[in-house]
């Protein structure tokens, strides 16, 4: 996890998990032809969102979860020289496992 990054609100920092680079038939797929990852490992989570009455609503995801998210969800950033995605919890479809 990036040592000095802390998401705010209901935002989550995700490390994309690359898709397989080889097809089932053994054909190697170049990175430029591959699909954008839609799976990722949660590296950091914000404290949660605020309800209308001011209560803190904690997030359902936690650090270490593998999540599924939309192909164009979130904002891609580079932290500590690595590609990461920052997204809201609502961009996540579900948790694997």
CATH number assigned to the domain covering 11-95: 2.30.33.40
Mean pLDDT for the stretch of residues 18-23: 63
Query: Quick check: helix, strand or coil at residue 34?
Result: coil
**1 falls in which pLDDT band (50, 70, 90)?**
very low
Read off the pLDDT of residues 35-82 as tens digits, 9 standing for 90 and up. Answer: 566 899 999 999 999 889 989 999 999 999 999 998 889 999 999 899
E strands present in 1-97: 11-16, 39-45, 49-50, 56-57, 66-69, 75-79, 82-88, 92-95
Residue that the structure tokens 């609502």 belong to: 90
Q: Give the pLDDT score at 21.
A: 61
CA 87 to chain centre: 7
Mean pLDDT of the chain: 85
């Amino acid at each position: 996890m990036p040592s000095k990054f802390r998401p705010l609100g209901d935002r989550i920092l995700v490390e994309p998990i690359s898709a397989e680079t080889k097809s089932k038939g053994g054909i190697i797929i170049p990175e430029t032809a591959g699909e954008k990852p839609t799976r990722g490992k949660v590296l950091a989570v914000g404290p949660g969102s605020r309800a209308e009455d001011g209560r803190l609503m904690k997030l359902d995801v936690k650090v270490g979860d593998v999540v599924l998210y939309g192909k164009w969800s979130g904002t891609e950033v580079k932290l500590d020289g690595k590609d990461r995605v920052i997204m809201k919890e609502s961009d996540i479809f579900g948790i694997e496992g």
